């Protein structure tokens, strides 16, 4: 039995040695062939076709809405309210009578002065006629004229005091909640109500000082307020002429039509300010940029090979960046796998956008 098995074992070992030798020779042949070709395997990449299109440079900020005009209504004189001519929430027009204080004493004084004026005017007329025929001296006539003018001045003063017992609307607007009633005694320190002019509405907001050189009166903005999905449009009409030292921001004020009164003063506004509109701008994904020592590069796909291209950038959004030079519309930019790439590396497109 031992004599039979020994030759079989030897034959099996020789067969294994032959197979191993053939495998080693095959590996050496393949390695030698690859070394001669010296071509690395293409890398898988994702690309983005850069096309020129419309782009708006925007700033997102927050602000507060304000009335176009707002006044706390307070009387000019002290006295008892004899009549209120408005209701809370009423729309009023400029000059409309809103409140009347008791002016009985002033009216009586005015009537007394009117009688005195009549007597003084008659006397002045007689003195003037006598002066023309030398019946009185110039001094006597001047005294009569002075007395008449003094009474007339007292009448003007009394009329002004009567006017102060009336409160009129300073502009077209809406009356707020009143804090007094008829019969109340008020003074110039007492707030009767407030009046708001709601059309148009104003929006106060600020932007970082780095944008101060490009913002202009007439620039457009969009904003939304909490509780409403409607987008409102406004226009900047006033710019603070200095930078706020505490926040390093520039204060701006815009105006927005508000005919239906949907925007109330004091609302919190989310604002989108359009700084610049361009119709022929190239945008690429931000992940395509490769920072280098003196700027930024991108890898461009051409004929199966990645080539490095220096670019200059502009405005940036959350996902894209503006390319101001270095790319042409239609260029294919590599967006993934760029960390393993070198200029001239072979690549294979997996996904294109």
Give 138-186 pLDDT, tens digit per residue. Answer: 998 889 999 999 999 999 999 999 999 999 999 999 999 999 999 999 9
Tell me what pLDDT residue 39 has. 60
Q: Is 90 exceeded by the pLDDT of residue 65?
A: yes
Is 352:50 a contact under the CB 8 Å cutoff?
no
Tell me what pLDDT residue 320 has. 83
Is 174:150 a contact under the CB 8 Å cutoff?
no
Q: How confident is the model at residue 249 (pLDDT cuts 50, 70, 90)?
A: very high
pLDDT per position as a tens digit, 293-339: 888 899 999 888 889 889 988 777 778 888 888 898 888 998 888 88
Q: What is the mean pLDDT of residues 23-28?
A: 49
Q: Is 60 exceeded by the pLDDT of residue 32?
A: no
Tell me what pLDDT residue 135 has. 84
Phi, psi for 261 (deg, rounded to 5): 70, 25
| DSSP H or E stretch at residue 203 | strand 193-208
Q: What is the mean pLDDT of residues 115-123?
A: 92
Residues near 96 by Cβ (< 8 Å), separated by ≥ 6? Answer: 85, 86, 168, 169
Cα–Cα nearest to 243, from 268, 270, 269, 211: 211
Give the mean pLDDT of the chain.
85
CA angle 249, 254, 259 (to 5 degrees): 155
CA dihedral of residues 22, 28, 33, 37 (deg, nearest 10)? 160
Q: Say which range, 4-18, 50-64, 145-159, 275-289, has the weakest mean pLDDT.
A: 4-18
Rounded Cα distance between 256 and 263, Å, is 9
Beta strand ranges found along 74-136 (DSSP E) = 79-84, 91-92, 97-101
Tell me what pLDDT residue 82 has. 94
Cα–Cα nearest to 232, from 257, 254, 199, 207: 257
Q: How confident is the model at residue 278 (pLDDT cuts 50, 70, 90)?
A: confident
Tell me what pLDDT residue 59 has. 83
């Amino acid at each position: 039995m031992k004599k039979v098995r020994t030759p079989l074992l030897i034959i099996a070992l020789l067969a294994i040695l032959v197979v191993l030798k053939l495998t080693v020779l095959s590996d050496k042949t393949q390695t030698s062939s690859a070394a001669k070709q010296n071509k690395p395997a293409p890398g898988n990449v994702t690309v983005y076709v850069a096309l020129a299109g419309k782009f708006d440079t925007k700033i997102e900020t927050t602000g507060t809405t304000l009335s176009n005009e707002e006044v706390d209504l307070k009387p000019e004189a002290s006295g008892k309210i004899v009549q209120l001519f408005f209701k809370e929430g009423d729309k009023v027009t400029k000059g409309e009578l809103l409140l009347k204080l008791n002016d009985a004493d002033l009216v009586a004084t005015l009537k007394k002065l009117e009688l005195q004026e009549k007597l003084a005017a008659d006397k002045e007329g007689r003195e003037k006629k006598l002066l023309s025929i030398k019946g009185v001296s110039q001094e006597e006539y001047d005294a009569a004229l002075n007395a008449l003018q003094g009474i007339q001045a007292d009448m003007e003063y009394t009329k002004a005091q009567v006017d102060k017992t009336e409160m009129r609307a300073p502009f077209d607007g809406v009356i707020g909640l009143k804090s007094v009633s008829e019969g109340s005694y008020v003074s110039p320190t007492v707030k009767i109500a407030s009046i708001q002019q709601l059309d148009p509405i104003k929006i106060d907001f600020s932007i970082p000082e780095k944008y101060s050189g490009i913002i202009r009166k007439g620039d457009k903005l969009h904003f939304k307020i909490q509780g409403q999905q409607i987008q409102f449009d406004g226009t900047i009409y006033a710019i603070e002429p200095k930078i706020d030292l505490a926040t390093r921001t520039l204060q701006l004020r815009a105006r927005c039509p508000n005919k239906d009164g949907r925007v109330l003063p004091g609302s919190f506004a989310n604002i989108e300010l359009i700084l610049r509109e361009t119709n022929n701008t190239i945008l690429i994904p931000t992940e395509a940029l490769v920072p280098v020592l003196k700027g930024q590069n991108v890898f461009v796909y051409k004929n199966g090979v990645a080539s490095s291209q220096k670019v200059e950038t502009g405005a940036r959004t959350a996902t894209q960046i503006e390319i101001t030079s270095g790319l042409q519309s239609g260029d294919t930019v590599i967006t993934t796998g760029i960390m393993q790439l070198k200029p001239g590396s072979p690549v294979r497109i997996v996904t294109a956008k």
